[in-house]
Amino acid sequence: GDSVTQMEGPVTLSEEAFLTINCTYTATGYPSLFWYVQYPGEGLQLLLKATKADDKGSNKGFEATYRKETTSFHLEKGSVQVSDSAVYFCALPMNSGYSTLTFGKGTMLLVSP
């Protein structure tokens, strides 16, 4: 079935460092792709999404480009802040046309001052 694989964490960075969190997917067709973020003690919230190949989703300085050639949707940010410390989840719909999501295992990001 459709699935996502993301890099294991934790990823530990200093403030203002460049961030990449890798995500690759397996799917039939070209589903929408999502990044969700979970701040400590909170539920998940949508960070960004891309609905078709070569789309770039962006929000709060984060970006991810839907690459069908490499089946990837890596999350990047040019300069991280302490407030970005959270768990990041890559996700896609379970089956084409459905809205239920399958999530990667999550990558914890820890940013130190």
Partner 1 sequence: DSGVTQTPKHLITATGQRVTLRCSPRSGDLSVYWYQQSLDQGLQFLIQYYNGEERAKGNILERFSAQQFPDLHSELNLSSLELGDSALYFCASSVEAGPSYEQYFGPGTRLTVT
CB 72 within 8 A of CB 23: yes
> Whole-number minimum distance, CB 18 to partner 1, in Å?
26
Q: For residue 58, give both structure tokens.
A: 């962006």
> Whole-number minimum distance, CB 15 to partner 1, in Å?
27
CB 102 within 8 A of CB 92: yes
CA dist., res. 2 & res. 31, Å (int): 9
CA dist., res. 67 & res. 45, Å (int): 23
Which of residues 26 and 45 has its CB atom nearest to partner 1 in the complex?
Answer: 45
Which of residues 40 and 113 has its CB atom nearest to partner 1 in the complex?
Answer: 40
CB 109 within 8 A of CB 80: yes
Which of residues 18 and 30 has its CB atom nearest to partner 1 in the complex?
Answer: 30
Which of residues 18 and 39 has its CB atom nearest to partner 1 in the complex?
Answer: 39
Binding-site ranges for partner 1 (CB under 8 A): 31-32, 36, 41-46, 49, 51, 89, 93-94, 96-106
Closest CA to 60 of 77, 44, 75: 77
> Whole-number minimum distance, CB 73 to partner 1, in Å?
14
> Whole-number minimum distance, CB 105 to partner 1, in Å?
4
